[in-house]
Structure 1
Amino acid sequence: MVKFLNLNDNSCVTMTTKDERLSFLEEMKDVKRIKKPNRAEVQAPKELTPGHLERQRSAVEKVVRDRNPLTADMVEPLKSHDVLSWQRPGVQHGVFRKLRLGQYPIEARLDLHRMTVEEARREVFSFIGDCVRYGLRSVIILHGKGERNPDGIAQLKSYVAKWLPELDSVLAFHSAQKHHGGTGAVYVMVRKSERDKQNNRERHGSR
């Protein structure tokens, strides 16, 4: 008795006679053994298509939207002793005078010393936004005088002078009094938030 392996289901076929064995071999003569494993071959394409390249480029070069409106370009250079002074139309003279003389309590301060221009740009934008959010009206920004610079240019001061009028929330600013940093700092008056305005209207309207 001879046993043969059935290639279809790996079971054994038993040959009981010589004729059956010869007949089986005749039928199986064209069958070849599978040399490779019975699994699909998945290979990455040798060349990336334009679509693949575009998707890669979009993922790598995706630009995060910059919501900071403050200019990053060159600005007019100011010197250490230049005085900063600016107010929006509608700001009362008496209010601006009190700001200039440092007579409003300083509710928050931002120190820009040792920052790069880009770092200061982000901090000033964020700081004024926080002041509006928390209802702070009178604050100070320390920008320095740049007295150690060989060219005498107060770089951060120059940018702050350009940035503050670009923010709608800023009503006025003026270089600080000497005891608060002099021309190396600036008082800033911040606009009331809509929430605070509404609270004032309700409070006055209730009287």
Structure 2
Amino acid sequence: MTDKQLTEQEKALFAEAMKNVRPLKSSSKILPAIKPKLKNKVKVASTSQTSQIDQQYLPVDLETLALEDWVGIEDKISFYKAGLQHSVIKKLAQGKMPIQSRLDLHQLTVAEAIDQADAFLKNCQQQQIRSALIIHGKGKMSHKPILKNAINVWLRTHPAVLAFHTAQLKHGGSGAIYVLISQASSKVPNAELGCN
């Protein structure tokens, strides 16, 4: 609708409604997106509390990773343990499992990220959280997805991880992964998830 189509009464009403409105100041500053609050948040222990991480699957030595095994910024990553039903893997990859908790590893070193991720996964198991989102970032600031590669290699060896897959765009795309977490070893596997 253009100005010519408005009646004098409509113009007056609009002017009255807008009389105290001030234009926003122009700014080139980009504000970060607001993260949605989740019902279940996992408290991650501090680095000093998690220094006793099981050394059988640490540390990640990226120098031994062959050049052809490195994943790029936009590459998808995926892993699942044998015995997991195809329908569960598909549901995880499509982002159709509810995200019960999330961990953001942006701006951490590889050692800090692995330390935080280990504590996070253990806490998820203790709180019976089965599906989580880990945000590793794309590595654009370093022009190389170092953290993405480290998490990709390390999670494959973690006993709590049943599967992981690159997240859908709405959850971070190639800068995040969905993780399917096993139940604590004292419990019987959940038949609903198809774990053998």
On the 8 A contact 2:161/2:182 being kept in 1, the answer is yes
| Aligned position for 2:75 | 82
Give TM-score, length-normalised by structure 1.
0.60
User: What are structure 2's unaligned runs of at least 5 residues?
Assistant: 1-50, 192-196
TM-score, L = length of structure 2: 0.64
AA partner of residue 124 (structure 2)? C
User: For residues 163 and 127 of structure 1, what CA distance do their matches in structure 2 show?
Assistant: 14
Matches within 5 A, 1:23-172: 67-68=54-55, 69-74=57-62, 75=65, 76-149=69-142, 152-172=143-163
Larger Rg over CA atoms: 1
Distance in 1 (alpha carbons) for counterparts of 2:90 and 2:161: 16
Alpha-carbon displacement from aligned partner over 1:65-104 (angstroms, at most 9, x marks no partner): 6534322312453211010111111010000000000101
1:166 aligned counterpart, secondary structure: coil
The percent identity for this pair of structures is 37
* CA-CA distance at 1:153 after TM superposition: 1.5
**Matched residue, 1:29:** none
What is the rounded CA distance, in whole Å, between the counterparts of 1:73 and 1:91 in structure 2? 28
Per the alignment, in what secondary structure is the counterpart of residue 70 of structure 2?
A: coil
RMSD of aligned residue pairs (Cα, Å)? 2.0
Q: Is the 8 A contact 1:102 1:176 kept in 2?
A: yes
Q: CA contact under 8 A between 2:60 and 2:154: conserved in structure 1?
A: no
Report the 3-state secondary structure (helix = DSSP H, G, I; strand = E; otherwise coil) of the residue aligned with 1:136. Answer: coil
Whole-angstrom distance in 1 between the partners of 2:61 and 2:151 = 13
The structural deviation recorded for 1:148 is 2.7
Considering Cα pairs closer than 8 Å and 6+ residues apart, tell me whether 1 or 2 has the greater RCO: 2
Residues matched between the structures, number: 135
- Structure 1 residues 111 and 66, CA, compared in 2 at 3 Å: closer, same or farther? closer
